[in-house]
Amino acid sequence: MYSLAFQVMDLVLWFKKCADQNPNYSANINHWKDETESVTIGQWIGGKIIKLAENGYGTFQPNAGGSSISIIPSMVSNFNLKLGQAIEVRTKLDSTGTKTLITEIRLT
């Protein structure tokens, strides 16, 4: 119990020191990267195919990093996509606004 209490105190002291050294919120927020920002909705995004599953789905990894995006089987077969192939995609958010969907594919 004592150990946990001391760990919490260490965390509080570290956070206070960090907050005192960096008081400007707007400057600090720029140090954090939101993974959803790496995918620009509606713009062409370059990347490559990193996985082709047995069920026909593909996985696209953007060059800029961030989360990978699933490619539906009909798009994989229509474009005859291969593992490691470089492509560009255009995306949109689903109706819930939580999942990124590929709307168009352009071969490079």
- Total number of domains in the chain: 2
Assess whether pLDDT exceeds 90 at residue 8. yes
Claim to verify: residue 39 and residue 25 sit in the same structural domain: no
Identify which has the larger pLDDT, 34 or 19.
19
Claim to verify: residue 65 and residue 42 sit in the same structural domain: yes
Nearest of 81, 95, 78, 43 to residue 64 by alpha carbon: 43
Report the Cα 53 to chain-centroid distance in Å: 20
Burial pattern 21-59, b for ≥16 Cβ within 10 A else e, equals eeeeeeeeeeeeeeeeeebeeeeebebbbeebeeeeebb
What is each CA distance from 29 to 13, 17, 36, 84, in whole angstroms? 21, 17, 15, 35
Give the range of the structural domain holding residue 18, as residue numbers without chain letter.
Answer: 1-32
Identify which has the larger pLDDT, 15 or 53.
53
Claim to verify: residue 92 and residue 54 sit in the same structural domain: yes
CATH classification of the domain holding 102: 2.40.50.140
